[in-house]
Chain A
Amino acid sequence: MKIAPIDIPEPSVPPSLVHCRDLVVGYAGTPMLPPVTVQVRPRELWAVFGPNGSGKSTVLRTILGILPPVSGDYICHAQSLGYVPQRNEIDPAIPARVIDMVRAGVERNWSFISPMWTWRRREAIDDALGDTHIRQLTKEPWTHLSEGQKQRVLMAQALAGNPQLLVLDEPTSAMDVHAERSIFALLDELRRRRSLGVMVVGHNLGVLARFATHALFVDKDQAAVAAGPVREVVGGSAFVERFGRGVADTLGPANAT
């Protein structure tokens, strides 16, 4: 009797959006941290955290291509990246309405020389406004918005470009706990609904541990880097050495899905 071969499906591991292997970040050729190895996949939410001035933003800026790496490999498979800068990087003296800021997010490469480009991307703009719940604010000037609303506008701007990887630099700084949770809940919803990979710099360990699936801990002073699932990083020696066993134990279970 002949037995027909059975196709056993391979466990599906989505391809990585970003793969950093022994990536050394720094300025003017001077390393700031030990080599970083990170692989970000769709639907993963990476919390990038560490003490002030520890190199978090430098890692993000290197991954985004704003800063050149000192050494190491960096491969970006994501077709497009969405970058959400810190709110204080937006000059309030520059006039802009919400719709202007979100429309800016659809520009890619040389798209700005196409007169109809923004019109053709209107559905993506509308989806981004809807996903961040700011449709009612389109005509509002940036300066009339609350901090939480500004953050949603910047997220909508990044989402308008239909990114596969969303990178946020301290999106909840100067926000109260309620607004911070609201932003992270939105991020969590977006990464599931849009199958986004997300990297977010933050300081509130409780909120990060609640919403993140993975963590990248960086500490320039201790020359320490740890990356992986949240539970492993929080329980790791680098984290414990910096924050203590008590903090590690009190942080809740990771957001595993």
Chain B
Amino acid sequence: MPLEQPPTLQDFFASWDLFADPALAGALAGAVLGALGVYVVVRRMVFLSAALAQAAGFGVAAAWFAQIHLGVPAAWATPTVGAGLSSTLAAVLMTGGDAGLKGRRDGWLGGVYLIGAAGTLALGTRIVQEVQDIETILFGSAVAVSPEDLRSLAWMVGIIGVIHVIGLRGFVQVAVDENGARVRGLPVRLLGLLLMGSLALSVSLGTRILGALPVFALTVLPPLAALRLAPNVGYAVLLATLIGASAGFLGYISAFLWKLPVGAAQTLCAAVLLAIAFLAGKILEFLHNRSAHRHGHIHGAGCGHVAIRHGDHVDYLDDGQLQHSSNDGHEIHGLASHTHTGNGQACHTDALNLPSQAQPHGHGHSHVHGAGCGHPRIAHGDHADFLVAGRLHHQHGDHCDDHGPVDIVD
């Protein structure tokens, strides 16, 4: 008996007419959920989408229940309407709950999640003929998407996309610094409502089409990957859109190739992309640090290192060397023997050989400069000096030589 050949990518695209709608639905849902998820992750509310997705699942089950047992016309109690109503209600409850239950937003999220999940499973036992769809809702095992669903999704993505492209900077401001945005007069409340509305709409429709598990995954994993790589939140939204769309699309292909549940495959694809992003982020960070000789911060006013005027600029004394920070990284600036005063005054290397009772240069006559002496070491030409009260001291046998002043910037 011949073994069945596993399906190939060629098979997938040969049947593109059959798979186009669900694959594109995965990409569209991934794009919008990824983009909105950035705000959710930045505001540390990742379980918001999980709770909304479970609420939407409950709404779908409730719609079927209403059709079968309550005799509500199918045109009214559609799964999409049920998902939209229940997720909107959950969103209002969770945002409105902030006022009454300060600091317990996570509790509200947990409550909505649990009631949604338990309600969906409970109603599933009363709508036996639809129980397969209950699994689809919860775990995303859908393999087919109707053209109507795809059209609804495309419209929703278009509308939400336009709103969020126009208001991108406002949404970012409110997510990153809500108090600052309020002080600057931005419409914080309206932007918050628009964000919550967009999220409720996309999660409800996404849950209806893909299932709760992939919806939660696409709202969390692509944003995490994007935030790891992007230089700011605006770019992270753009990147998360692309990663989310890729995860949704590739997940569907993976489900076909390896015969996996679609929701699980989309979730795993998003997780793989997240792992790649973290690895890429580590590599970029390593290369950046190595090329720029970084060590934790960039020198500048108030950075904590002694600032010394060096010609027409200011350098910082760090680890015995004058360093200059720019957008290209750190540069080591050698302190030449005749340029360290900044005003062209030549340094002199006369041995002071001061009388033992004289202490004009900031320390007692018995002090010996060296490692751990308490004075900062500074490279000076071909030797090392020590910085004491704005002058360079050079240990020369049993006495100090004065190697001239440096211009310390306060």
Contact = CB atoms under 8 A, between A and B. Distances in A.
B103 interface: no
A95 B230 contact: yes
Contacts of B302: 146, 148-149, 151-152, 179, 182-183
Interface residues of B, number: 40
Interface centre among B167, B180, B233, B303, by most chain A C-beta atoms within 10 angstroms, is B180
Contacts of A110: 170, 186-187
A107 B170 contact: yes
B152 interface: no
A20 interface: no
A6 interface: no
Contact of B298 (A89, A132, A145, A183): A145
Contacts of B383: none
Contact of B232 (A65, A100, A113, A161): A100
A90 B177 CA distance: 8
B300 A85 contact: no
Interface in B220-247: 227, 230-234, 236
Interface in A65-106: 65-66, 80-81, 83, 85, 89-91, 93-97, 100, 104-105
B69 interface: no
B227 A95 contact: yes
A131 to B, nearest CB: 11
B180 A104 contact: yes
Given A97-B232, A107-B170, A136-B326, A179 B304 contact: yes
Contact of B294 (A61, A66, A113, A144): A144
A104 B304 contact: no
Contact of B176 (A65, A96, A118, A133): A96
B327 A83 contact: no
A183 B297 CA distance: 18
Interface in A88-144: 89-91, 93-97, 100, 104-105, 107-110, 112-113, 118, 132-134, 136-141, 144
Given A65-B182, A107-B184, A112 B300 contact: no
A178 B307 CA distance: 12
Contacts of A85: 177, 179-180
A96 B297 contact: no
A95 B233 contact: yes
A66 B179 contact: yes
Nearest to A182: B302
A149 B300 contact: yes
Contact of A95 (B168, B170, B186, B236): B236
Contacts of B42: 91, 94
A179 to B, nearest CB: 5
A29 B32 CA distance: 41
Interface string B272-307: 000000000000000000000010111011111000
B185 interface: yes
Contacts of A151: 302
Contact of A144 (B182, B183, B185, B298): B298
Interface string A202-231: 000000000000000000000000000000
Interface in B75-100: none
Nearest to B304: A146
Interface in B244-271: none
A176 interface: yes
Nearest to B302: A148
B325 interface: yes
B166 interface: yes
Contact of B301 (A83, A96, A133): A133
A108 B179 contact: no
B173 A97 contact: no
Interface string B169-210: 110110011011111111100000000000000000000000
A84 to B, nearest CB: 9
Contacts of B167: 112-113
Interface pairs A-B: 7 shortest CB-CB: A148-B302, A112-B170, A112-B169, A133-B301, A146-B297, A83-B183, A100-B232
Given A85-B180, A182-B410, 5 more contacts: A64-B183, A107-B170, A107-B181, A109-B187, A146-B304
Interface of B: 42, 44, 166-170, 172-173, 176-177, 179-187, 227, 230-234, 236, 294, 296-298, 300-304, 325-327, 410
28 contacts: A64-B179, A89-B177, A89-B179, A91-B176, A94-B42, A95-B230, A95-B231, A96-B176, A96-B232, A104-B176, A104-B177, A107-B170, A108-B184, A109-B184, A113-B167, A118-B169, A134-B300, A136-B326, A137-B298, A137-B300, A146-B298, A146-B302, A149-B302, A161-B184, A176-B304, A178-B304, A179-B304, A185-B410
